[in-house]
Structure 1
Amino acid sequence: MTFLTSTFVTAFEAACLIRCARPGRPADTRRPRLTDVPRIAAPQTDAVAEFDREEAAERLTMLLAALGYHARSAERDGGGVRRYAVQQVTIAEPDRVAADRMMVTSWQRGRQRLLATDPLGSTSPQAAHRVVLARAAWNAGVLVGRLRPRHSQLRIGIAEQDMVAVLVRAARLAGVTSSVSKRSGCFVIAVPEQATSSLVSYELPGAGRPARRHALSARQDRPTPRLAAA
Protein backbone atom coordinates (compact mmCIF):
# COMPACT_ATOMS: atom_id res chain seq x y z
CA MET A 1 0.00 0.00 0.00
CA THR A 2 1.44 3.39 -0.97
CA PHE A 3 1.99 5.99 1.71
CA LEU A 4 0.38 8.78 -0.25
CA THR A 5 -2.32 9.06 -2.90
CA SER A 6 -3.64 12.11 -4.70
CA THR A 7 -7.07 11.47 -3.14
CA PHE A 8 -5.56 11.65 0.34
CA VAL A 9 -3.66 14.88 -0.39
CA THR A 10 -6.72 16.49 -1.97
CA ALA A 11 -8.90 15.52 0.99
CA PHE A 12 -6.27 16.69 3.48
CA GLU A 13 -6.02 20.14 1.89
CA ALA A 14 -9.83 20.37 1.88
CA ALA A 15 -9.89 19.45 5.57
CA CYS A 16 -7.26 22.11 6.30
CA LEU A 17 -9.31 24.74 4.46
CA ILE A 18 -12.32 23.87 6.61
CA ARG A 19 -10.33 24.01 9.85
CA CYS A 20 -8.67 27.30 8.88
CA ALA A 21 -12.12 28.78 8.20
CA ARG A 22 -13.31 28.47 11.78
CA PRO A 23 -14.16 31.79 13.50
CA GLY A 24 -11.58 33.86 15.30
CA ARG A 25 -9.38 35.50 12.68
CA PRO A 26 -8.58 39.18 13.28
CA ALA A 27 -10.73 41.87 11.75
CA ASP A 28 -8.27 42.84 9.01
CA THR A 29 -8.93 39.53 7.22
CA ARG A 30 -12.44 40.78 6.51
CA ARG A 31 -13.22 42.85 3.44
CA PRO A 32 -15.90 45.32 4.56
CA ARG A 33 -18.43 46.31 1.95
CA LEU A 34 -20.22 49.51 2.88
CA THR A 35 -23.62 50.05 1.29
CA ASP A 36 -26.05 52.94 1.34
CA VAL A 37 -29.04 50.61 1.29
CA PRO A 38 -28.94 47.78 3.87
CA ARG A 39 -29.13 44.33 2.34
CA ILE A 40 -30.96 41.40 3.88
CA ALA A 41 -28.63 38.57 4.77
CA ALA A 42 -29.31 35.25 3.11
CA PRO A 43 -30.91 32.59 5.33
CA GLN A 44 -28.49 30.54 7.41
CA THR A 45 -27.72 27.11 5.98
CA ASP A 46 -25.73 24.17 7.18
CA ALA A 47 -22.51 25.23 5.47
CA VAL A 48 -19.36 23.13 5.43
CA ALA A 49 -17.31 26.32 5.81
CA GLU A 50 -17.51 30.09 5.43
CA PHE A 51 -14.68 32.22 4.09
CA ASP A 52 -13.88 35.88 3.72
CA ARG A 53 -12.18 35.28 0.38
CA GLU A 54 -13.81 34.01 -2.77
CA GLU A 55 -10.69 32.15 -3.90
CA ALA A 56 -10.70 30.05 -0.71
CA ALA A 57 -14.33 29.05 -1.26
CA GLU A 58 -13.63 28.24 -4.91
CA ARG A 59 -10.62 26.14 -3.95
CA LEU A 60 -12.61 24.10 -1.42
CA THR A 61 -15.47 23.64 -3.88
CA MET A 62 -13.02 22.46 -6.54
CA LEU A 63 -11.31 20.01 -4.18
CA LEU A 64 -14.62 18.56 -2.99
CA ALA A 65 -15.78 18.18 -6.59
CA ALA A 66 -12.52 16.39 -7.43
CA LEU A 67 -13.31 13.99 -4.60
CA GLY A 68 -16.71 13.25 -6.14
CA TYR A 69 -18.95 15.38 -3.91
CA HIS A 70 -21.59 17.83 -5.13
CA ALA A 71 -20.39 21.08 -3.58
CA ARG A 72 -21.24 24.68 -4.38
CA SER A 73 -20.19 28.10 -3.15
CA ALA A 74 -22.41 31.14 -2.79
CA GLU A 75 -22.03 34.62 -1.37
CA ARG A 76 -24.12 35.97 1.47
CA ASP A 77 -23.96 39.14 3.52
CA GLY A 78 -22.75 39.27 7.09
CA GLY A 79 -22.14 41.89 9.75
CA GLY A 80 -24.25 44.68 11.19
CA VAL A 81 -23.64 48.33 10.30
CA ARG A 82 -20.53 47.38 8.38
CA ARG A 83 -21.55 44.80 5.82
CA TYR A 84 -19.13 42.27 4.42
CA ALA A 85 -19.34 39.40 1.98
CA VAL A 86 -19.15 35.83 3.28
CA GLN A 87 -18.36 33.01 0.88
CA GLN A 88 -20.29 29.93 1.94
CA VAL A 89 -19.55 26.37 0.78
CA THR A 90 -22.24 23.71 1.03
CA ILE A 91 -22.44 20.04 0.07
CA ALA A 92 -25.57 18.36 -1.23
CA GLU A 93 -27.25 16.43 1.60
CA PRO A 94 -26.81 12.94 0.09
CA ASP A 95 -23.03 13.52 0.09
CA ARG A 96 -22.69 15.31 3.41
CA VAL A 97 -22.19 12.35 5.77
CA ALA A 98 -19.61 10.69 3.52
CA ALA A 99 -17.79 13.99 2.94
CA ASP A 100 -17.67 14.77 6.66
CA ARG A 101 -16.29 11.32 7.38
CA MET A 102 -13.59 11.71 4.72
CA MET A 103 -12.59 15.15 6.04
CA VAL A 104 -12.23 13.85 9.60
CA THR A 105 -10.24 10.79 8.55
CA SER A 106 -7.97 12.73 6.19
CA TRP A 107 -7.29 15.40 8.81
CA GLN A 108 -6.41 12.82 11.45
CA ARG A 109 -4.12 10.87 9.13
CA GLY A 110 -2.44 13.97 7.70
CA ARG A 111 -1.92 15.55 11.12
CA GLN A 112 -0.44 12.32 12.44
CA ARG A 113 1.97 12.09 9.51
CA LEU A 114 3.13 15.69 9.84
CA LEU A 115 3.57 15.70 13.61
CA ALA A 116 5.30 12.30 13.71
CA THR A 117 8.81 12.49 15.15
CA ASP A 118 10.19 9.22 13.81
CA PRO A 119 13.46 9.88 11.94
CA LEU A 120 13.34 9.63 8.16
CA GLY A 121 16.15 9.82 5.64
CA SER A 122 16.11 13.07 3.69
CA THR A 123 15.90 11.14 0.41
CA SER A 124 13.27 8.63 1.52
CA PRO A 125 9.85 8.64 -0.19
CA GLN A 126 8.18 9.10 3.19
CA ALA A 127 10.10 12.33 3.79
CA ALA A 128 9.07 13.65 0.37
CA HIS A 129 5.46 12.68 1.08
CA ARG A 130 5.51 14.66 4.32
CA VAL A 131 6.64 17.73 2.41
CA VAL A 132 3.72 17.33 -0.01
CA LEU A 133 1.29 17.26 2.92
CA ALA A 134 3.09 20.21 4.52
CA ARG A 135 2.64 22.33 1.41
CA ALA A 136 -1.00 21.28 1.05
CA ALA A 137 -1.59 22.56 4.59
CA TRP A 138 0.11 25.86 3.79
CA ASN A 139 -1.96 26.26 0.62
CA ALA A 140 -5.01 26.24 2.85
CA GLY A 141 -3.50 28.52 5.48
CA VAL A 142 -2.40 31.17 2.99
CA LEU A 143 -5.70 31.15 1.10
CA VAL A 144 -7.84 31.51 4.22
CA GLY A 145 -5.80 33.39 6.78
CA ARG A 146 -3.48 35.68 4.83
CA LEU A 147 -2.89 39.02 6.56
CA ARG A 148 -1.14 42.16 5.38
CA PRO A 149 2.62 41.57 4.94
CA ARG A 150 4.81 43.21 7.55
CA HIS A 151 8.59 43.56 7.66
CA SER A 152 8.95 41.36 4.54
CA GLN A 153 7.06 38.55 6.24
CA LEU A 154 4.08 36.56 5.04
CA ARG A 155 1.60 36.39 7.94
CA ILE A 156 -1.47 34.23 8.36
CA GLY A 157 -4.04 34.32 11.17
CA ILE A 158 -5.38 30.97 12.37
CA ALA A 159 -7.70 30.42 15.34
CA GLU A 160 -7.41 26.69 15.90
CA GLN A 161 -4.39 25.54 17.89
CA ASP A 162 -4.19 22.12 16.23
CA MET A 163 -4.01 23.79 12.82
CA VAL A 164 -1.34 26.19 14.08
CA ALA A 165 0.77 23.25 15.30
CA VAL A 166 0.41 21.55 11.91
CA LEU A 167 1.42 24.70 10.02
CA VAL A 168 4.47 25.35 12.21
CA ARG A 169 5.60 21.76 11.76
CA ALA A 170 4.79 21.92 8.05
CA ALA A 171 6.97 25.01 7.60
CA ARG A 172 9.87 23.25 9.31
CA LEU A 173 9.47 20.20 7.05
CA ALA A 174 9.59 22.52 4.03
CA GLY A 175 12.81 24.07 5.34
CA VAL A 176 11.23 27.37 6.39
CA THR A 177 11.58 29.03 9.79
CA SER A 178 8.32 30.33 11.27
CA SER A 179 7.34 32.35 14.33
CA VAL A 180 4.03 32.42 16.20
CA SER A 181 2.47 35.27 18.15
CA LYS A 182 -0.88 35.56 19.92
CA ARG A 183 -3.49 38.09 18.92
CA SER A 184 -7.04 38.59 20.02
CA GLY A 185 -8.97 35.60 18.73
CA CYS A 186 -6.17 33.93 16.81
CA PHE A 187 -2.52 33.02 16.43
CA VAL A 188 -0.41 34.77 13.80
CA ILE A 189 2.18 32.62 12.01
CA ALA A 190 4.90 34.53 10.17
CA VAL A 191 7.44 33.26 7.63
CA PRO A 192 9.86 35.10 5.32
CA GLU A 193 7.89 36.41 2.35
CA GLN A 194 10.43 35.05 -0.14
CA ALA A 195 9.74 31.53 1.17
CA THR A 196 6.09 31.58 0.07
CA SER A 197 6.60 29.69 -3.18
CA SER A 198 8.49 26.88 -1.45
CA LEU A 199 5.63 26.50 1.04
CA VAL A 200 2.67 26.28 -1.32
CA SER A 201 3.82 24.55 -4.51
CA TYR A 202 3.49 20.77 -4.67
CA GLU A 203 2.68 17.90 -7.02
CA LEU A 204 -0.10 15.42 -6.50
CA PRO A 205 1.19 11.83 -6.49
CA GLY A 206 0.93 10.45 -10.00
CA ALA A 207 -0.20 13.78 -11.47
CA GLY A 208 3.17 14.80 -12.88
CA ARG A 209 2.51 18.52 -12.45
CA PRO A 210 1.95 20.97 -9.60
CA ALA A 211 -1.46 20.77 -7.95
CA ARG A 212 -1.14 24.44 -7.18
CA ARG A 213 1.64 26.68 -8.37
CA HIS A 214 1.15 29.40 -5.80
CA ALA A 215 -1.59 30.24 -3.32
CA LEU A 216 -1.32 33.90 -4.36
CA SER A 217 -1.53 33.25 -8.12
CA ALA A 218 -4.27 34.62 -10.31
CA ARG A 219 -7.44 32.55 -10.24
CA GLN A 220 -7.14 31.42 -13.84
CA ASP A 221 -3.65 30.04 -13.18
CA ARG A 222 -4.83 27.51 -10.60
CA PRO A 223 -4.99 24.01 -12.14
CA THR A 224 -7.63 21.53 -11.08
CA PRO A 225 -6.23 18.70 -8.93
CA ARG A 226 -6.14 15.36 -10.69
CA LEU A 227 -6.83 12.20 -8.78
CA ALA A 228 -4.88 9.01 -9.21
CA ALA A 229 -6.57 6.25 -11.13
CA ALA A 230 -8.41 3.76 -8.97
Structure 2
Amino acid sequence: MVRSTGAYALTPPPPRPSGRTSLLDRASLADAFEAACLVRCIRAEEVRQPTTLVAEFSSEAAATRLAELLARLGTPARSERVTAGVRRRYELHRLHVAEPGQPVVLSMGWRQGRTALLDPAAVGASAPRHARRQALAAAAWRAALLAAGRHVRTTILGVRIRDTELAAVLVRSANLLGSAASVAPRSGCLLVTVPGGPDRERVLRRSAERFPLAT
Protein backbone atom coordinates (compact mmCIF):
# COMPACT_ATOMS: atom_id res chain seq x y z
CA MET A 1 0.00 0.00 0.00
CA VAL A 2 1.22 3.48 -0.86
CA ARG A 3 -0.21 6.63 0.70
CA SER A 4 0.77 10.19 -0.11
CA THR A 5 1.82 12.30 2.86
CA GLY A 6 2.06 15.53 0.93
CA ALA A 7 4.40 17.31 -1.41
CA TYR A 8 7.24 19.68 -0.65
CA ALA A 9 8.28 22.32 -3.12
CA LEU A 10 11.70 23.68 -3.96
CA THR A 11 12.11 27.17 -5.36
CA PRO A 12 14.37 26.79 -8.38
CA PRO A 13 17.05 29.35 -9.19
CA PRO A 14 17.05 30.88 -12.65
CA PRO A 15 17.90 28.19 -15.23
CA ARG A 16 21.43 28.15 -16.54
CA PRO A 17 21.62 28.69 -20.31
CA SER A 18 22.84 25.54 -22.01
CA GLY A 19 24.10 27.11 -25.24
CA ARG A 20 23.92 24.62 -28.10
CA THR A 21 21.24 21.98 -27.87
CA SER A 22 23.50 19.21 -29.18
CA LEU A 23 26.35 19.74 -26.71
CA LEU A 24 26.07 20.84 -23.08
CA ASP A 25 28.35 23.54 -21.76
CA ARG A 26 30.84 22.52 -19.08
CA ALA A 27 28.85 23.60 -16.03
CA SER A 28 25.57 22.16 -17.35
CA LEU A 29 27.33 18.91 -18.25
CA ALA A 30 28.51 18.35 -14.67
CA ASP A 31 24.96 18.87 -13.35
CA ALA A 32 23.27 16.80 -16.06
CA PHE A 33 25.74 13.94 -15.69
CA GLU A 34 25.33 13.82 -11.90
CA ALA A 35 21.55 13.90 -12.30
CA ALA A 36 21.69 11.05 -14.82
CA CYS A 37 23.88 9.01 -12.47
CA LEU A 38 21.38 9.54 -9.63
CA VAL A 39 18.59 8.14 -11.80
CA ARG A 40 20.72 5.21 -13.05
CA CYS A 41 21.54 4.27 -9.45
CA ILE A 42 17.95 3.21 -8.91
CA ARG A 43 17.03 1.55 -12.20
CA ALA A 44 18.74 -0.52 -14.85
CA GLU A 45 17.35 1.25 -17.92
CA GLU A 46 15.57 4.41 -18.98
CA VAL A 47 11.80 4.59 -18.65
CA ARG A 48 10.21 4.26 -22.08
CA GLN A 49 6.52 4.81 -21.35
CA PRO A 50 5.16 8.38 -21.08
CA THR A 51 5.22 9.46 -17.44
CA THR A 52 5.91 12.57 -15.40
CA LEU A 53 7.80 10.51 -12.80
CA VAL A 54 11.57 11.02 -13.14
CA ALA A 55 12.76 9.04 -10.13
CA GLU A 56 11.70 7.44 -6.86
CA PHE A 57 14.23 7.29 -4.02
CA SER A 58 14.25 5.84 -0.54
CA SER A 59 16.72 8.61 0.34
CA GLU A 60 15.38 12.13 0.82
CA ALA A 61 18.90 13.51 0.35
CA ALA A 62 19.13 11.90 -3.11
CA ALA A 63 15.72 13.29 -4.12
CA THR A 64 16.62 16.76 -2.88
CA ARG A 65 19.93 16.71 -4.75
CA LEU A 66 18.27 15.62 -8.02
CA ALA A 67 15.63 18.34 -7.63
CA GLU A 68 18.38 20.93 -7.18
CA LEU A 69 20.23 19.73 -10.28
CA LEU A 70 17.10 19.66 -12.44
CA ALA A 71 16.17 23.17 -11.32
CA ARG A 72 19.61 24.46 -12.27
CA LEU A 73 19.21 22.81 -15.66
CA GLY A 74 15.92 24.60 -16.27
CA THR A 75 13.72 21.54 -15.67
CA PRO A 76 12.14 22.08 -12.24
CA ALA A 77 10.56 19.03 -10.64
CA ARG A 78 7.75 18.63 -8.13
CA SER A 79 8.77 16.59 -5.09
CA GLU A 80 6.35 14.20 -3.40
CA ARG A 81 6.76 12.19 -0.20
CA VAL A 82 4.72 8.99 0.16
CA THR A 83 4.54 6.19 2.68
CA ALA A 84 4.47 2.56 1.59
CA GLY A 85 4.29 -0.90 3.10
CA VAL A 86 1.77 -2.61 5.36
CA ARG A 87 3.50 -4.18 8.33
CA ARG A 88 6.74 -2.34 7.82
CA ARG A 89 6.23 1.31 6.87
CA TYR A 90 8.80 3.28 4.93
CA GLU A 91 9.01 6.54 2.97
CA LEU A 92 9.58 7.09 -0.73
CA HIS A 93 10.56 10.38 -2.33
CA ARG A 94 9.35 10.97 -5.87
CA LEU A 95 10.19 13.65 -8.40
CA HIS A 96 7.74 14.62 -11.16
CA VAL A 97 8.20 16.97 -14.10
CA ALA A 98 5.43 18.95 -15.75
CA GLU A 99 5.43 17.07 -19.07
CA PRO A 100 5.53 13.28 -19.58
CA GLY A 101 8.86 11.91 -20.68
CA GLN A 102 12.38 11.76 -19.25
CA PRO A 103 14.11 15.18 -19.45
CA VAL A 104 16.25 15.16 -22.60
CA VAL A 105 19.05 16.90 -20.73
CA LEU A 106 19.63 13.74 -18.65
CA SER A 107 20.24 11.59 -21.72
CA MET A 108 22.52 14.25 -23.16
CA GLY A 109 24.45 14.58 -19.91
CA TRP A 110 24.88 10.82 -19.58
CA ARG A 111 26.14 10.30 -23.12
CA GLN A 112 28.50 13.26 -23.06
CA GLY A 113 29.83 12.56 -19.56
CA ARG A 114 30.25 8.83 -20.12
CA THR A 115 32.22 9.50 -23.31
CA ALA A 116 34.47 12.00 -21.54
CA LEU A 117 35.29 9.45 -18.84
CA LEU A 118 35.59 6.23 -20.83
CA ASP A 119 36.89 7.32 -24.23
CA PRO A 120 40.42 5.86 -24.61
CA ALA A 121 41.40 8.92 -26.63
CA ALA A 122 41.03 11.02 -23.47
CA VAL A 123 44.03 9.36 -21.81
CA GLY A 124 46.98 11.73 -21.70
CA ALA A 125 44.85 14.73 -22.69
CA SER A 126 45.49 18.31 -21.59
CA ALA A 127 45.44 19.36 -17.92
CA PRO A 128 42.16 21.32 -18.28
CA ARG A 129 40.47 18.32 -19.87
CA HIS A 130 41.80 16.04 -17.14
CA ALA A 131 40.44 18.44 -14.49
CA ARG A 132 37.06 18.32 -16.23
CA ARG A 133 37.08 14.51 -16.11
CA GLN A 134 37.89 14.63 -12.40
CA ALA A 135 34.86 16.85 -11.86
CA LEU A 136 32.68 14.29 -13.67
CA ALA A 137 34.28 11.45 -11.69
CA ALA A 138 33.46 13.20 -8.43
CA ALA A 139 29.88 13.75 -9.62
CA ALA A 140 29.46 10.04 -10.43
CA TRP A 141 30.59 8.93 -6.98
CA ARG A 142 28.61 11.68 -5.26
CA ALA A 143 25.47 10.35 -6.94
CA ALA A 144 26.27 6.72 -6.13
CA LEU A 145 26.96 7.44 -2.47
CA LEU A 146 23.64 9.28 -2.20
CA ALA A 147 21.34 7.03 -4.19
CA ALA A 148 22.83 3.54 -4.54
CA GLY A 149 22.64 0.86 -1.87
CA ARG A 150 25.60 1.40 0.45
CA HIS A 151 27.80 -1.58 1.32
CA VAL A 152 30.13 -0.37 4.05
CA ARG A 153 32.68 -2.57 5.79
CA THR A 154 35.89 -1.77 7.63
CA THR A 155 37.88 -3.05 4.65
CA ILE A 156 35.86 -1.58 1.75
CA LEU A 157 33.47 1.10 0.58
CA GLY A 158 30.88 -0.33 -1.79
CA VAL A 159 27.70 0.57 -3.65
CA ARG A 160 25.08 -1.77 -5.13
CA ILE A 161 23.73 -0.91 -8.57
CA ARG A 162 22.08 -2.72 -11.50
CA ASP A 163 23.40 -0.62 -14.37
CA THR A 164 26.48 -2.16 -16.00
CA GLU A 165 27.46 1.07 -17.75
CA LEU A 166 27.30 3.01 -14.49
CA ALA A 167 29.50 0.33 -12.88
CA ALA A 168 32.14 0.92 -15.57
CA VAL A 169 31.87 4.68 -15.05
CA LEU A 170 32.36 4.31 -11.28
CA VAL A 171 35.45 2.13 -11.69
CA ARG A 172 36.99 4.63 -14.10
CA SER A 173 35.94 7.52 -11.87
CA ALA A 174 37.61 5.99 -8.82
CA ASN A 175 40.80 5.67 -10.85
CA LEU A 176 40.63 9.33 -11.88
CA LEU A 177 40.19 10.29 -8.22
CA GLY A 178 43.32 8.35 -7.31
CA SER A 179 41.76 5.13 -6.00
CA ALA A 180 41.35 1.54 -7.17
CA ALA A 181 37.90 -0.01 -7.67
CA SER A 182 36.46 -3.35 -8.75
CA VAL A 183 33.10 -4.84 -9.73
CA ALA A 184 31.65 -8.14 -8.54
CA PRO A 185 28.26 -9.71 -9.39
CA ARG A 186 25.79 -10.16 -6.57
CA SER A 187 22.24 -11.48 -6.50
CA GLY A 188 20.26 -9.07 -8.68
CA CYS A 189 22.91 -6.37 -8.73
CA LEU A 190 26.55 -5.41 -9.15
CA LEU A 191 28.76 -4.46 -6.23
CA VAL A 192 31.31 -1.73 -6.97
CA THR A 193 33.92 -1.54 -4.24
CA VAL A 194 36.87 0.63 -3.26
CA PRO A 195 39.43 -0.74 -0.77
CA GLY A 196 39.38 0.66 2.76
CA GLY A 197 42.01 3.00 4.06
CA PRO A 198 43.46 5.77 1.86
CA ASP A 199 41.52 4.70 -1.26
CA ARG A 200 38.17 4.87 0.51
CA GLU A 201 38.99 8.17 2.24
CA ARG A 202 40.10 9.68 -1.06
CA VAL A 203 36.84 8.81 -2.81
CA LEU A 204 34.75 10.06 0.10
CA ARG A 205 36.69 13.31 0.36
CA ARG A 206 36.88 14.10 -3.34
CA SER A 207 33.25 13.20 -4.07
CA ALA A 208 32.27 15.74 -1.43
CA GLU A 209 34.25 18.48 -3.17
CA ARG A 210 32.88 20.79 -5.84
CA PHE A 211 35.55 20.74 -8.51
CA PRO A 212 36.00 23.90 -10.59
CA LEU A 213 35.38 23.19 -14.24
CA ALA A 214 38.50 24.23 -16.12
CA THR A 215 38.03 26.22 -19.30
TM-score (norm 1): 0.71
Q: Percent identity?
A: 37
Does 1:101 find its partner at 2:104?
yes
In 1, Cα distance between equivalents of 2:212 and 2:25: 9
> What SS does the aligned partner of 1:118 have?
helix
Query: 2:87 matched to which residue of 1?
Result: 81
CA RMSD, aligned part only? Answer: 2.7
Query: 2:72 matched to which residue of 1?
Result: 66
What are structure 2's unaligned runs of at least 5 residues? 1-19, 46-50
In 2, Cα distance between equivalents of 1:120 and 1:160: 24
Query: 1:174 matched to which residue of 2?
Result: 177
Candidates 130, 149, 158, aligned match of 2:133: 130
Query: 1:198 matched to which residue of 2?
Result: 206
Q: Which amino acid aligns with 1:161?
A: T
Structure with the higher fraction of residues in strand conformation: 2
TM-score (norm 2): 0.76
In 2, Cα distance between equivalents of 1:59 and 1:129: 21
Shift of 1:182: 1.7
Output aligned runs, 1:1-230, within 5 Å: 5-22=26-43, 46-93=52-99, 97=101, 100-118=103-121, 120-121=123-124, 124-191=127-194, 192=196, 193-195=200-202, 196-205=204-213
What are structure 1's unaligned runs of at least 5 residues? 25-44, 207-230
Q: Is the 8 A contact 1:9 1:204 kept in 2?
A: no
Q: Is the 8 A contact 1:120 1:126 kept in 2?
A: no
Deviations 1:49-77 (A, max 9, x none): 11110000000001101111221221112
Q: Which amino acid aligns with 2:37?
A: C
Q: Which amino acid aligns with 2:141?
A: W
Query: 2:11 matched to which residue of 1?
Result: none
Shift of 1:124: 1.8
Shift of 1:4: 5.5
Shift of 1:154: 1.7
